[in-house]
Structure 1
Amino acid sequence: MKFEVRSIIQIAVVASLVSVAGLPSVLAAQTADQVEAQAHESWSGTMHHLSAPGNGCFHASYPSTQWQAIECSEAPGYRSALPKPTKREQTVGNGSDYVVQAPSGSLLSSALGSFPTVTDVKTEKSVGVAAFGGGGILGSNEYTLQVNTNFYPHSAACAGFSGCFAWQQYVMSTNTPVSLTSNRLTGKTEVFIEYWLINYGSRSGSNVCPSGFIDGGADETGPGEDCVQNTPAVVIANGQLPITDLAELTLSGSATKNGTDKATVTFGTEAFTATVNDSLTDIASGWTQAEFNVLGNAGGSEAQFNSGASLSVKVAVTDGSTTAPTCVSPSAEDGTTGETNNLKLGTCTATGGSAPSILFTE
């Protein structure tokens, strides 16, 4: 019996030693994975802030930080719905969207949106909203990521017309019409910039939208026209990225006065960017707020998530300071998007330092 007990103990000790001996390699593997994850996150942040070598469409693959020129797709026939004309704002979830506000006297030059946590997100479908005529690109995995600017009333692009506002949207869409004259959909996920000059000109005169802009119809609140144009698009994926990939997606928009505007998406180990001259709206001269969220796909549609889905949303900004920005609360009814989602907004916190940001839940 003593021999049997001693043998059992020896076997247990040997097994324990074998287990402990294997532990350092497991920890080493975990550390290697953590280092790789940190390196990847750093690379993604670099690509969002790295200027492209010119105007056009570009791509890079991890770990390279060299933008390579690629062929642009035609400017898509995508159209966001303008926010409600009564307040130029639209709700997201059960209240207006959270917006990041730059400190007094500061202007934003970039805003980067991401989803640090994504929990129980299984399905999403874009549905029509009656208040916007039920339009949009509807169906499963039809959604957009949007970084939206504030409305800027003093833009040089407004050419002095009173009541004119410049507005800019940096958009990733999982599907877009191939052109304004065709309802055929690309079936591709793309990133581009949508430019607006709202209430431009005067219908009593002979003024028309500026060169390159399309007349989007009479403004509902003023005597002018709503003028819109899209940049050429960069194809991110041949197909619609499923909503279950949301945690791997980041979108940023940047604007440099007398320089370029840039919309950038990173997806996994790939980065894509589209750049054009900032002169189209001159938003860099008056960019003080930024909104980021996942929303319906165009036309005022709503992204409806499965029950139990929840997200945290981070918006990091560059404004030339280390001061914490402000979370503009939903009660202030801020946010400029015309699209929505069905998630309920939670709390929002702001952080300063080398990367000022806000973080909220929904």
Structure 2
Amino acid sequence: MVYVAVTSMLAGAATLPSAFAASSSPDLEAQFHAAWRQTMQHTSAPAKGCYHASYPSTVWAKVDCVKAPNRLYLPRHKPEAQTVGNGNDYAAEISSGVISQTVGSFPSVSGVTSESDDGESNDYSLQLNSNFMSTDACNGVSGCQAWEQFVYASGEGEAFMQYWLINYGDTCPSGGWMSYQGSCYMNSAAVSVPDDDISDLGNMTLTGTAVAGGSDTLTFTDGTEAYTTSGDDSVVDLATAWQASEFNIIGDGGGSEADFNSGSSVTVNVSLTDGSSDAPTCASNAGTTGETNNLNLGSCSTSGGSTPSIQFTESN
């Protein structure tokens, strides 16, 4: 297949030959772009920090990190009647071992012409969220659960990781932790990203990677641009207990809702790397974020093999 061939070519070259790119048809060019995004999802930056790459280059260029916004992307709370979010979501879940990488994407988008959050157009977040975990980061506090979010915040123009120690207590650990209603949270360094229009949703991907004793890395791609930032895995020890991943487009923090126009339909794909070829489970009501959207969940299917994944639909 052309897609496979292009992926292999990109993996072995720093750039796609410009003459080849220039002569391709629109459909073929779209395949090149998709293959490039897939390559960047699996291409590590040379060191910690923030980086950017533009198609056709597959080499990360260092950029200045920025401070992440003091905006809360809340954990799920008391269940209420709702559409997608606040727990009412699918998660890709494994029964043993740990996840080392998750890629969230939207392979099919139709009927989407507008989105708003509290009246603000094109204000939303893409979130890739872990399960609630019992890790050493809780320092033995009874009832504490660690949690990590990989966040693209359109309204802030930033992408970063937000870490939580839920039910840790009012006195948070030192080192930058902040207190919120008996829990603690902090952010990684953020990378500046564009405020992308909702019409480009089908070209967006969000990747989270965790390496025990090393770094957790967020990679965001949109069309022909890619951005990445990293932080120490030891903040919440994600790599030791990551067994489920939720990915979706939802409100931009504070438990808010992303409201899509009537007639919107989105297909969500969540693919995992966990050292096996077994298909993950479509775990229902397994979402961990408190933000929502106004779409209704459809059916969910699973796939094993080289890229184990779940895929589901949501529409209104």
Give 1:156 shift: 1.1
Specify the alignment match of 2:175 in structure 1. 211
Please say if 1:120 is aligned against 2:111: yes
Residue 193 of structure 1 is matched in structure 2 by: 161
1:96 aligned partner: 88
2:305 aligned partner? 353
Q: Deviations over 1:92-128 (max 9, x none)?
A: 16981011012x222111111111111010111113x
Q: Is the Cα contact below 8 Å between 2:117 and 2:258 reproduced in 1? A: yes
**For 1:63-78, what aligned pairs fall within 5 Å after superposition?**
63-78=56-71
Matched to 1:282, the amino acid is: D
Q: Determine if the alignment matches structure 1 residue 268 to structure 2 residue 223.
A: yes
Secondary structure, aligned partner of 1:200: coil
Matches of 1:158 and 1:251 in 2, distance apart?
27
Q: Secondary structure at the match of 1:361?
A: strand
Aligned partner letter, 2:111: D
Q: Point out the structure with the larger helix share.
A: 1
Quote the Cα distance in structure 2 between the aligned partners of 1:359 and 1:208. Answer: 38
Note if contact 1:76-1:232 (Cα within 8 Å) is conserved in structure 2. Answer: no
Q: Tell me how far apart the structure 2 counterparts of residues 307 and 98 of structure 1 sit (CA, whole Å).
A: 22
CA contact (8 A) 2:87 2:286 kept: no
Shift of residue 81, structure 1, vs aligned partner: 2.2
**Pairwise CA distance, 1:200:** 1.5
Structure 2 counterpart of 1:311, which letter?
V
For the Cα contact (< 8 Å) 1:142–1:175, is it kept in 2?
Answer: yes
- 1:42 equivalent in structure 2: 35
Distance 1:156 1:70, change over 3 A: same
Distance 2:292 2:311 in 1: 19
Find the aligned partners of 2:211 and 2:165 in 1 and give their Cα distance.
18
The two structures have a TM-score, normalised by structure 2, of 0.87
Distance (Å, rounded) in 2 between the aligned partners of 1:79 and 1:141: 19
**Alpha carbons 2:127, 2:152 under 8 Å: kept:** yes
1:58 maps to 51
Aligned to 2:129: 148
| Contact 2:86–2:290 (8 Å) recurs in 1 | no
Unaligned runs of 5+ in 1: 1-28, 128-137, 177-188, 219-225
Structure-to-structure mapping, 1:210-359, within 5 angstroms: 210-218=174-182, 226-237=183-194, 240-329=195-284, 333-359=285-311
Q: TM-score, normalised by structure 1?
A: 0.76
Q: What is the Cα deviation at residue 316 of structure 1?
A: 0.9
Looking at structure 2, the residues matched to 174 and 40 of structure 1 have their Cα atoms a distance apart, in angstroms, of 22
Provide closer, same or farther for how the CA distance between residues 111 and 319 of structure 1 changes in structure 2, counting only shifts above 3 A: same
Distance across 1 between alignment mates of 2:43 and 2:174: 30
Matching residue's letter, 1:108? I
Task: Report the AA paired with residue 308 of structure 1.
Answer: G
Shift of 1:268: 1.0
Query: Structure 1 87/346 Cα, relative in aligned 2: closer, same or farther at 3 Å?
Result: closer
Shift of 1:47: 1.0
- Determine whether 1:105 maps to 2:62: no
Q: Distance in 2 between matches of 1:266 and 1:242?
A: 14
Q: Cα distance 1:259–1:297, how it changes in 2: closer, same or farther (>3 A)?
A: same
Q: What RMSD, in angstroms, separates the aligned Cα atoms of the two structures?
A: 2.1
Q: Secondary structure at the match of 1:324?
A: coil
Asked if the contact 1:93/1:343 (under 8 Å) is kept, the reply is no
The letter of the residue matching 1:200 is Y
Please give the secondary structure, in 1, of the residue aligned with 2:148.
Answer: strand
How far does residue 39 in structure 1 lie from its aligned partner after superposition?
2.7
